[in-house]
Amino acid sequence: MHKRWENPVSTAAGPQAPVPAAFQIGGVTLSPATVLAPMAGVTDTVFRRFIRNLGGCGLIMTEFTSADGIVCSQRVRGRYLHFYDDEHPISAQIFGSEPVVLSDAARMIEDLGFDLVDLNLGCPAKRVVKCNGGSGLLRDLPRIGEIFRAVRAAVRIPFTVKFRAGWNDNEIVCVDLARLAEDCGLQAVALHARTREQGYGGTAQWGWIAEVKNAVRIPVIGNGDIRTPQDGCAMIARTGCDAVMIGRAAASNPWIFRQIAQHAATGAYDEASERDRYDMIHTYFQMLIEEQMPGAAGKMKQFASWFTHGVRNGSALRKAVYEAREEREILDRVDQFFTAALNEQPILA
């Protein structure tokens, strides 16, 4: 899935307010008020537990998963809905366009022990949109209402929705959609403050989050362009949202949740050292190997481009990782690189 992982636009200037220590979705208390966004190809059980263990994240979410796949395939359920006890509280995100199928999938999610279920109305990928899933439904509010009512009637756990502001700048539906969600009994909404047409480019328009917050009484989670702890505090101050959701920044800086908690408590936060980065990469890669994740070597190479952000001579480390073939060889090359770097020896070329 293509994403622009770097966006130079700053959002942190201006007033700031601490990210709340906790917030409530239905009967589930989430502390602190920070959420790991669901990301395809990223937020599997290894990454979720990795983020949880670093501290500071109030809610973690699965990769978005096809409701049809959940209902029809044990393999899909095993791959995308597997989680461990130490991941609570955890939400499962689903996508689709058929109310009956989505409600059946939501029941299965509840039976598996998830704390919440979330509907994806934000994914801009063409393959999802052409099936009327994700942001493809933003042009059909009546169908969304049918889905909301069917899923709400099917489960007892909190039901939430993540959506974009609209299809494009001329079709902004975020306020109407949020009100519809509240009227149908959903317990929270999360807005990625971009349109489907924007994809992951341009700048998130936080004003849309403020409009949604002013329109509904249920909790509102803001998402879009939070790259630093200051950004999280700026979003709270400008929009009044109840919590912040972080996606892309968590892949290059998985400490961001802990840093937000530190910043809220003290006004300052710890920057990652070279040793921290080594421990982070080694730990995550070791977890992938121990979990025997399918395609672990490919995932290591994928994450190397994000995890090496801020590493001195990171291009040499990325080259070493990309040229390795097996999981253990990749981990050995990471160890060799950082052993040399931390002892100020010549860097592995």
Residue 123 is among the residues annotated as catalytic for this protein:
yes
* Spatial separation of the C-alpha atoms in residues 152 and 99, rounded to whole Å: 10
Query: Half-sphere exposure of 280 toward its Cβ, with a 13 Å CA cutoff?
Result: 26
3-state secondary structure of 11: coil
- Kindly state the DSSP code that residue 63 receives in the 8-state scheme: P
The first and second tokens of residue 251, run together, are 């892949």
State the catalytic residue, choosing from 57, 123, 174, 233.
Answer: 123
| CA nearest to 192, candidates 216, 161, 147, 170 | 161
* Spatial separation of the C-alpha atoms in residues 57 and 198, rounded to whole Å: 27
Q: Taking a C-beta distance cutoff of 8 angstroms, is the pair 135, 122 a contact?
A: yes
| CA nearest to 296, candidates 308, 309, 286, 282 | 286
3-state secondary structure of 260: helix
Instruction: Please give the positions annotated as active site.
Output: 123
